Structure 1
Amino acid sequence: MIRFIPGLAASAALLICGLAYGQDIDPDILKAQAGTYLIAPQDGAAGCRLTLETGEAIGGYSLSGQDSCIEPLPALAEAYSWNFDGNGGVILMDATRKMLARFVENEGQPMKTEGDAPFLLIAAPDGFDRLPTVTSLAGTWTMQRPDGERLCGVTLNGHVDADGNAPLSLSEDCTANVARLKLAVWHIEGFGLTLMGRDGSSLGFDMRADGNFDKSKEEGGKPLSLVRH
């Protein structure tokens, strides 16, 4: 049985929901948060997709897609509404306003539940029902331009250290602009992959629907992809 909020009494959940619902939410903030999200365990097990809507419902705002949770996450099949928790996070409730899950805001990272086995609330490429993991991504990749021009070979190792990073190695034929980054470790957070150097350099990538990665728009510069061999 999945417990998303261990130790939280039902009365406290009702109070929090009531407070959140009583707040005046800026319509633009509401629209920005609304959308379809994958809710899935961080360990790569199957999850389900829920759509947070802007219509009012008991305890907050309406949602849909609960049927997709019946098999992978049956606890969320009872979800009836969603709301903000007052601290930048999102809560899911059943029709009695009982809290089913609280997703906490993490600066620069996807929202996730607290505890040793967190669940993420995250926008996901179409067709994905689970999060990528270090194990699923370990292997050989090619860093290239959209036209196929090869810049470097990248081997992602699957052995994670205490910081959640894993080693990587580069091929000997890397172009100078890639080699000078001295990339040495990599990290996966949600659908975002970051390659990092020991001196603080980094390259961020976002997973696309085919399972490969494109350089994050926030990085700027020329388009760049990571394509699996």
Structure 2
Amino acid sequence: MTGFMLRLTIPAAVLLACAPAAAQDIDLDILRAQAGTYLVAPENGGDGCRLTLETDLAIGGYSLSGQDSCSKPLPALAEAAAWNFDGNGGLILIDPTRKVIARFVENEGSSMKTEDETPLLLVSAPDGIDRLPTFSSLAGKWVMQRPDGEKLCSVTLEGTVDTDGNAPLLPSGDCAANVSRLKLAIWHIDGLGLTLMSHDGASLGFQMRADGSFDKSREEGGKPLSLVRSDAL
């Protein structure tokens, strides 16, 4: 499940050699791959803000913009003056004195996030999204459908999370055969990604749209499929 999630695909050996003090030595292609506008938001669903990581040199790393948008939701990030790789596969935001004010750690297969009590995630998100979905905000009845409105299955997402970070999923009894055979039973959130899974390893990944619905992730292949709240139909 990738989609809008931020992931570094740079070999670890390269990043280890790229300590913050040696910002000017990082390959331009690596910088361009990382640059862009991202949503920084609390994992608990609180308001976030958007930062744009740029490729120009700045004190301690590379320039960024948009930090003013953080002054209300995440005031500590309003002091960010630069960003850089931390030399261990992660990414840091620093203030004008080079003090690290946020350190985003890479988690294999998941979005980058801080290790604070209330983690902040760094994700690429479409315009219109200013916070991350949570189990409680997504709990309820949803419908899987094709772009033309053809309904394949109704599912109820429950909000009780287990120790593995998953919650129960209840499909309706009239799902299309290609959905029924997946035996979907649990669901998981990572950043803006929603994955429906079986206990046998089958899964179906979706990415959030600005309107709060979800589209099937491109990596899934096959025909387009959306997940829409039943009360929105």
- Above 0.5 in TM-score? yes
- Are 2:93 and 2:101, in contact at CA under 8 Å, matched by a contact in 1? yes
Distance 2:26 2:144 in 1: 43
Equivalent positions of 1:63-212 (< 5 A) are 63-212=64-213
Following superposition, the deviation at residue 223 of structure 1 comes to 1.0
Task: Give the match for residue 22 of structure 2.
Answer: 22
Please list the CA deviations of residues 80-126 of structure 1 after superposition, one character each: whole Å capped at 9, or x if unmatched. 00000112211000011111011011112111001332110111121
Distance 2:19 2:127 in 1: 35
Which one has more relative contact order, counting CA pairs under 8 Å at least 6 apart? Answer: 2
Distance 1:139 1:29 in 2: 41
Distance 1:20 1:98 in 2: 11
Distance 2:21 2:204 in 1: 40
Please list the CA deviations of residues 12-64 of structure 1 after superposition, one character each: whole Å capped at 9, or x if unmatched. xxxx9x93231521111100111111111100011111110011100010000
Give the match's secondary structure for 1:172: coil
- Are 1:58 and 1:81, in contact at CA under 8 Å, matched by a contact in 2? yes
Task: Give the match for residue 35 of structure 2.
Answer: 34
Structure 2 residues not aligned, in runs of 5+: 1-15
Task: Give the match for residue 59 of structure 1.
Answer: 60
Following superposition, the deviation at residue 155 of structure 1 comes to 0.7
Following superposition, the deviation at residue 143 of structure 1 comes to 0.4
Task: Flag as ranges the 4+ runs of structure 1 deviating above 3 A.
Answer: none
Count of equivalent residues? 213
Please list the CA deviations of residues 103-152 of structure 1 after superposition, one character each: whole Å capped at 9, or x if unmatched. 01111211100133211011112111110000110111100111111100
Distance 2:222 2:229 in 1: 22
Task: Give the match for residue 49 of structure 1.
Answer: 50
- Are 1:184 and 1:195, in contact at CA under 8 Å, matched by a contact in 2? yes
- Are 2:216 and 2:224, in contact at CA under 8 Å, matched by a contact in 1? yes
Distance 2:214 2:21 in 1: 39
Q: Aligned-pair RMSD on alpha carbons?
A: 1.4
| Aligned partner letter, 2:56 | G
| Aligned partner letter, 1:228 | R
| Aligned partner letter, 1:119 | L
Q: Could you state the TM-score of these two structures normalised by the residue count of structure 2?
A: 0.89
- Are 1:21 and 1:83, in contact at CA under 8 Å, matched by a contact in 2? no
Following superposition, the deviation at residue 221 of structure 1 comes to 1.1
Please list the CA deviations of residues 135-174 of structure 1 after superposition, one character each: whole Å capped at 9, or x if unmatched. 1101111001111111000110111111110001111110
Distance 2:127 2:19 in 1: 35
**Which structure dedicates a bigger proportion of its chain to strand?**
1
Distance 2:21 2:135 in 1: 39
| Aligned partner letter, 1:22 | A
